[in-house]
Structure 1
C-alpha cells in the first residue's frame, strides 16, 4: 500500500517499533474508544509505527508542520 498521509506527530495514540504489536494495540484501542477509523502508519524515520485516527490527517501545507507517514493498515 503506497498511501501517504500527513499527521502532526503529537496527535499519535501510540508509537511502537513492532508492526504486529502496533496492529494489536490499535485493535484493542478501537474496540474501547471512538468509532473513527484508525490508521497504522510507518513513521517518517522508517523506524517505528504510529497509530492515528484517520480524521486527524492534515493537508501537506498545514501550519502545524505535518510529517508524512506511509499507511500500513486501516482499522
Structure 2
C-alpha cells in the first residue's frame, strides 16, 4: 500500500517500533473503543509505526505543516 496521509504526530494513539505489535495494539484499541477508522502508518524518517484515527487526517495544505505518513494497514 502506498497511500500517503498527513497527520499531526501528537494525534497518534500509540507509537510502536514493531509492525506486528502495532497491528495487535490497533486491533485491541479498535475492539475496546468500538471504532472502525484506525490506520497503522509509518513516517518517512521514523523508525516507529504510529496508530491514528483516520478521521484525524489533515489536508496536505494544512498550515501547521503536518507530517506525511505512509499507511501500512487500515484497521
TM-score, normalised via structure 1 length: 0.93
User: Secondary structure of 1:68's match?
Assistant: strand
Q: What count of residue pairs does the alignment treat as equivalent?
A: 75
User: Residues 50-65 of structure 1: matches in 2 within 5 Å?
Assistant: 50-65=50-65
Taking only aligned residues, the RMSD between alpha carbons, in angstroms, comes to 1.0
In 1, distance between residues paired with 2:57 and 2:21?
A: 22
**Structure 1 residue ranges (4+ consecutive) displaced by more than 6 angstroms after TM superposition:** none
In 2, distance between residues paired with 1:33 and 1:59?
A: 26
From the superposition, tell whether residues 72 and 18 of structure 1 become closer, same or farther in structure 2 (CA, over 3 Å): same
Residue matched to 2:74: 74
In 2, distance between residues paired with 1:52 and 1:34?
A: 15
In 2, distance between residues paired with 1:43 and 1:62?
A: 17
User: Secondary structure of 1:65's match?
Assistant: coil
TM-score, normalised via structure 2 length: 0.93
Range with greater deviation from structure 2 (43-52 or 19-28): 43-52
